[in-house]
Amino acid sequence: MGNREMEELIPLVNRLQDAFSSLGQSCLLELPQIAVVGGQSAGKSSVLENFVGRDFLPRGSGIVTRRPLVLQLVTSKAEYAEFLHCKGKKITDFDEVRHEIEAETDRVTGMNKGISSIPINLRVYSPHVLNLTLIDLPGITKVPVGDQPPDIEYQIREMIMQFITRENCLILAVTPANTDLANSDALKLAKEVDPQGLRTIGVITKLDLMDEGTDARDVLENKLLPLRRGYVGVVNRSQKDIDGKKDIKAATLAERKFFLSHPAYRHIADRMGTPHLQKVLNQQLTNHIRDTLPNFRNKLQGQLLSIEHEVEAYKNFKPEDPTRKTKALLQMVQQFAVDFEKRIEGSGDQVDTLELSGGAKINRIFHERFPFEIVKMEFNEKELRREISYAIKNIHGIRTGLFTPDMAFEAIVKKQIVKLKGPSLKSVDLVIQELINTVKKCTKKLANFPRLCEETERIVANHIREREGKTKDQVLLLIDIQVSYINTNHEDFIGFANAQQRSSQVHKKNTIGNQVIRKGWLTISNIGIMKGGSKGYWFVLTAESLSWYKDDEEKEKKYMLPLDNLKVRDVEKSFMSSKHIFALFNTEQRNVYKDYRFLELACDSQEDVDSWKASLLRAGVYPDKSLTENDENGQAENFSMDPQLERQVETIRNLVDSYMSIINKCIRDLIPKTIMHLMINNVKDFINSELLAQLYSSEDQNTLMEESAEQAQRRDEMLRMYQALKEALVVIGDINTATTFTPAPPPVDDSWIQHSRRSPPPSPTTQRRPTLSAPLPRPTSGRGPAPAIPSPGPHSAAPPVPFRPGPLPPFPNSSDSFGAPPQVPSRPTRAPPSVPRFGAMKDEAAEP
């Protein structure tokens, strides 16, 4: 391979890449692209091949590169090439690569010199390259040939600009030595996109093809037509060399020999040639890497600090130490007990902000769900009146009763009390389910030890199930106690006398003042359907009304709905809707809102629906449980129209209502207390006092404290990452130490490019200079200020560009092979060098 300079940088970059790979992440070290720009047959492809060290690009006269070639170099152990349009096909013969480039170019552009901006993407894998992107661009031309369009110059220019405008692209402006450098289109384009000259390197090719007695010494010394980064001269292989299979290594030796033997270049030979060009680019790559490292270092140091605390716990970790296992088991059980109690009591440091859980959800069961379940069961007016009438008739039997029988009241009340068992037992089940969910959430911290986690869940869940039976027995016992004795002397019971005078209204609203019971967002769904879509409002429920506003600032009230004679019922969920709906309606068949008989309100979940129903219940809006038509029709014949029986039914109905309100209040108070005492507090005590003992007795300690494979892997991963981060930081330090930052050369006066751009561009064809028979004398003026257009004379003749006669004494700073090309000492009044007239060159050549 011919790129020795870059091979020296490869180990450093590989160390950095390896350090990041061991962290499981990409280094993201994007090295600059290198674009080769120049005219047709300027030697661009030859310069490009020197970076790869292989012959693989098409050659010939005229326009050979007719599509951009994006060449991605990838560091790899094996050496092969792969085209994007032939993905998966590995090509090890680079002659075949050349043929494929030619075939792919012809496939898109045709056989007659056509061009295309569609790039050919080629990847070359090799152990001798860096991860670089090289771009071979079509040569700049002005005159269309073959199938080329009339605007060929514009198209090629735009194609080149697509690549070189990127800030991450180094520009190699290639110009043959046997053409007029002052009119170099490559340098003009580079100047447009890189006015500071930081990314542009001038490359002078074909130095060996200049006319005898001429040279480009002034240009290569950056004295004439200067660039900020100067020029590098190279000698590429001739077509004869290529046909003779002369490899790149031999060509590099021949190039070195040329510069050392040429009288005009031998003093700057160490700053000429392909190796020096590679060295210059290597300096740019090194600078780029060094510029990138501070961000990497900050990122790595941040990661190191973030895992350092956790790693400290792992450094002295001994998985098989029995003392460590005992201590860890005790700590984890204690932490589990603390977490469980915090979740139930509501003082946890890890508050769930997404949903209700633990104690909050149990509180909702006690004070919203349980009361609502009782009311749903209780209020079925027609069925209750029918049962009372049956009870009175059956107690009177064949006789016609004159008085309201006590036994009918007791029979109806006992039946209503027994119905409370269902909601009471359901509340126990809901609390048990929430306790088990809380246990599962608390055992997540034990997930590193699967057996311990599994055993803890099993033992606590078994205890909860044991307490379930005792709690339910106690709940049933409380209800049976209420059934066993009907206390008609209770201070809140109205008695028979008051029952007969009581109003016939069944559901008298409890007056609790006009306090706010609930606020929240609801969607009015049935009105929205008629007006182009459902709309959400902010609802405020008080003891007397339901109001809704435009938003939660409650400034713009939309409507206020009184709660008198309202009831609530469920609405079947539509298969097209994700909302859960309930409806409000008036029992007297009046419109609820404007022309609507009912108001459908939608919530996001069934849990929200139940919560709103419970709140409406507190405000006196009860659920509707109408009998079906079949029940009404089938039982209508059994209702007596006897006025006396109707009065007796009304009396017992009022007595049942009064007594059941006492029982409901008592049950709603006692059931949560029973569950709290027999279930929740008992489970907390069990976890604090007995869980650890049962864990010790259930399994061997070593088995319980066996780490999960995931935890062992995580511990090893953390330790490995910690070491890898430290190693990566060391590598970054080594790169900073092993490499040096090469500052950019100072700016130079390159306005000559601007001047030449304003002058009419010459023909792109090569301008041949006359051969000089003898060296011309150097000017005696010592490079004073030059006139705009030098005139010929024996003492002030200017050299033709880019040639100059005869060799000069060795340059004093030629030993500095890494420094920037020497600059001309500037003077305040000195004008930029001008392009000599072609006629002047002829006169100089004719001088004796």
Task: Enumerate the domain spans of the chain.
Answer: 274-314+708-742, 334-502+636-704, 516-619
Question: Looking at residue 682, what is its pLDDT?
Answer: 94
Whether 479 has a pLDDT exceeding 90, the answer reads yes
Among candidate residues 106, 97, 113, 118, the one with its CA nearest the CA of residue 145: 113
Q: Categorize the per-residue pLDDT at 678 as very low, low, confident or very high, splitting at 50, 70 and 90.
A: very high
The SS3 of residue 798 is coil
Cis status, amide bond into 802, omega within 30 of 0: yes
Least confident piece of the model among 516-525, 707-716, 722-731: 707-716
Decide which of 768 and 140 is more confident: 140
Share of the chain above pLDDT 90, in %: 9
Highest mean pLDDT out of 4-8, 58-62, 427-431, 764-768? 427-431
Question: Looking at residue 498, what is its pLDDT?
Answer: 57
Among candidate residues 121, 166, 165, 132, the one with its CA nearest the CA of residue 29: 132
Q: What is the mean pLDDT of residues 641-659?
A: 72
Q: What is the mean pLDDT of residues 306-322?
A: 71
Whether 341 has a pLDDT exceeding 70, the answer reads yes
Least confident piece of the model among 26-30, 178-182, 225-229, 243-247: 26-30
Q: What is the mean pLDDT of residues 173-198?
A: 85
Beta strand 69-75 pairing with 200-205:
unpaired
Among candidate residues 384, 439, 269, 419, the one with its CA nearest the CA of residue 652: 384
Give the H or E element holding residue 416.
helix 406-418
- Supply angle C-alpha 731, 732, 737, rounded to 5: 95
Among candidate residues 287, 686, 290, 262, the one with its CA nearest the CA of residue 460: 686
pTM exceeds cut of 0.85: no
Q: What is the mean pLDDT of residues 349-372?
A: 79
Question: Looking at residue 707, what is its pLDDT?
Answer: 73
- Dihedral sign of CA atoms 244, 250, 252, 254 in order: negative
Q: What is the mean pLDDT of residues 838-845?
A: 39
Matching residue, tokens 């060290």: 53
Q: What is the 3-state secondary structure (H, E, C) of 120-184?
A: EEEEEEECCCCCCEEEECCCECCCCCCCCCCCHHHHHHHHHHHHHCCCCEEEEEEEECCCCHHHC
Q: Categorize the per-residue pLDDT at 380 as very low, low, confident or very high, splitting at 50, 70 and 90.
A: low
Question: What is the Cα–Cα distance from 631 to 418, expressed in whole angstroms?
Answer: 23
Q: Which residues of 46-83 are buried (b: 16+ CB within 10 A; e: fewer)?
A: bbbbbbbbbbbbebeeebbbbbbbbbbbebeeebbbbb
Matching residue, tokens 């200079």: 769
Q: What share of the chain is helix, strand, coil (3-state, %, to 5)?
A: 50, 10, 40
Question: Looking at residue 472, what is its pLDDT?
Answer: 94
C-beta of residue 294 within 8 angstroms of C-beta of residue 300: no
Question: Looking at residue 675, what is its pLDDT?
Answer: 94
Whether 268 has a pLDDT exceeding 80, the answer reads yes
Whether 744 has a pLDDT exceeding 50, the answer reads yes
Q: What is the mean pLDDT of residues 350-366?
A: 78
Whether 44 has a pLDDT exceeding 70, the answer reads yes
The SS3 of residue 695 is helix
Question: Looking at residue 739, what is its pLDDT?
Answer: 67
C-beta of residue 667 within 8 angstroms of C-beta of residue 424: yes
The domain 334-502+636-704: what is its CATH number? 1.20.120.1240
Question: Looking at residue 807, what is its pLDDT?
Answer: 45
The SS3 of residue 279 is helix
Among candidate residues 790, 795, 782, 778, the one with its CA nearest the CA of residue 825: 782
Question: What is the Cα–Cα distance from 811 to 805, expressed in whole angstroms?
Answer: 16
Residues near 205 by beta carbon (within 8 Å), at least 6 away in sequence: 42, 43, 46, 47, 174, 175, 176, 177, 233, 234, 235, 236
Give long-range contacts, CB 8 A cutoff, 24+ apart: 415-419: 415/387, 416/378, 416/384, 416/656, 416/660, 416/663, 417/479, 417/482, 417/483, 417/660, 417/663, 418/479, 418/483, 419/377, 419/378
The SS3 of residue 312 is helix
Q: Categorize the per-residue pLDDT at 837 as very low, low, confident or very high, splitting at 50, 70 and 90.
A: very low
Question: What is the Cα–Cα distance from 524 to 131, expressed in whole angstroms?
Answer: 62
Q: What is the mean pLDDT of residues 798-816?
A: 42
C-beta of residue 522 within 8 angstroms of C-beta of residue 539: yes
Question: What is the Cα–Cα distance from 602 to 586, expressed in whole angstroms?
Answer: 18
Question: What is the Cα–Cα distance from 644 to 238, expressed in whole angstroms?
Answer: 129
Q: Categorize the per-residue pLDDT at 48 as very low, low, confident or very high, splitting at 50, 70 and 90.
A: confident
The SS3 of residue 682 is helix
Question: What is the Cα–Cα distance from 386 to 399, expressed in whole angstroms?
Answer: 19
| DSSP annotation string for 6-57 | HHHHHHHHHHHHHHHHHTTS-----PPEEEEEEBTTSSHHHHHHHHHTS--S
What is the rounded average pLDDT for all residues in the chain?
A: 75
Share of the chain above pLDDT 70, in %: 72
Q: What is the pLDDT of residues 419-472, one digit of tens each?
A: 899 999 999 999 999 999 999 988 888 887 888 888 899 999 999 999 999 999
Question: Looking at residue 23, what is its pLDDT?
Answer: 62
Among candidate residues 10, 137, 16, 125, the one with its CA nearest the CA of residue 72: 125
The SS3 of residue 603 is strand
Question: Looking at residue 496, what is its pLDDT?
Answer: 54
Q: In what order do the strands lie in the sheet with 120-126?
A: 80-83, 120-126, 69-75, 133-136, 33-38, 169-176, 200-205, 231-233
Q: Within 10 A of 96 (CB to CB), how many other CB atoms are there? A: 12
Q: What is the pLDDT of residues 137-171, one digit of tens each?
A: 888 877 777 777 788 788 888 888 888 888 878 88
Residue 177, judged by CB atoms within 10 A of its CB (0-12, 13-18, 19+), counts as buried
C-beta of residue 545 within 8 angstroms of C-beta of residue 557: no
C-beta of residue 230 within 8 angstroms of C-beta of residue 202: yes
Among candidate residues 435, 389, 440, 380, the one with its CA nearest the CA of residue 412: 389
Please give the torsion angle defined by the CA atoms of residues 123, 125, 128 and 133, in that order, rounded to the nearest 10 degrees. Answer: 20
Hey, what CATH class is 516-619 in?
Answer: mainly beta
Q: Within 10 A of 659 (CB to CB), how many other CB atoms are there? A: 23
Question: What is the Cα–Cα distance from 236 to 487, expressed in whole angstroms?
Answer: 117
Q: What is the pLDDT of residues 539-576, one digit of tens each?
A: 999 888 899 898 888 888 888 888 888 888 888 776 66
Whether 26 has a pLDDT exceeding 50, the answer reads yes
Among candidate residues 537, 540, 526, 506, the one with its CA nearest the CA of residue 616: 540
Strand stretches in 206-267, DSSP E:
231-233
